[in-house]
């Protein structure tokens, strides 16, 4: 259903770079339901982990078979700074809040992203 459609949209736009990334984000905004910190059921760490890992698995430069929470984006997948920006934008869309550059620069692994989002939702182990 929806996940396959999102995968299709993601694959269609996966080769976009720099200025085209904004167009990709706008397309996602038109098909992905909006979420906010104050609406819906309370988030749990497993929910956040699942959503972060799904977004990462859908990214064409991340090998889903090799992806773990400890994977290093640069060392394990060779992601560059533009890839990093695209991933951060995808996370912003998924969780419906902006992530400042000063915070996103610390995202080296999926675990870093999960920890950051858990902090935003006040979800702790």
Asked about 72 being catalytic, the answer comes back as: no
Among residues 50, 80, 83, 125, the one annotated as catalytic is 80
Alpha helix segments (H runs only) across 13-125: 18-31, 45-58, 73-77, 81-95, 101-104, 110-120
CB 68 within 8 A of CB 37: no
C-alpha 34/C-alpha 86 separation (Å) is: 18
Sequence-distant (6+) residues with CB within 8 A of 89 are 21, 24, 25
CB 29 within 8 A of CB 93: yes
> Which residues are annotated as catalytic?
80
């Amino acid at each position: 259903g929806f996940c396959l459609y999102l995968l299709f949209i993601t694959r269609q736009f996966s080769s976009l770079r720099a200025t085209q990334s904004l167009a990709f984000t706008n397309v996602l905004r038109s098909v992905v339901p909006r979420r906010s910190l104050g609406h819906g059921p309370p988030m749990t760490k497993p929910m956040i982990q699942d959503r972060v890992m799904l977004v990462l698995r859908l990214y064409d430069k991340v090998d889903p078979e090799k992806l773990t929470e400890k994977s290093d984006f640069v060392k394990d997948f060779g992601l560059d700074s533009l890839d990093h920006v695209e991933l951060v934008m995808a996370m912003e869309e998924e969780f419906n809040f902006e992530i400042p550059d000063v915070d996103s620069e610390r995202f080296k692994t999926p675990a870093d992203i999960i920890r950051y989002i858990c902090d935003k939702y006040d979800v702790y182990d």
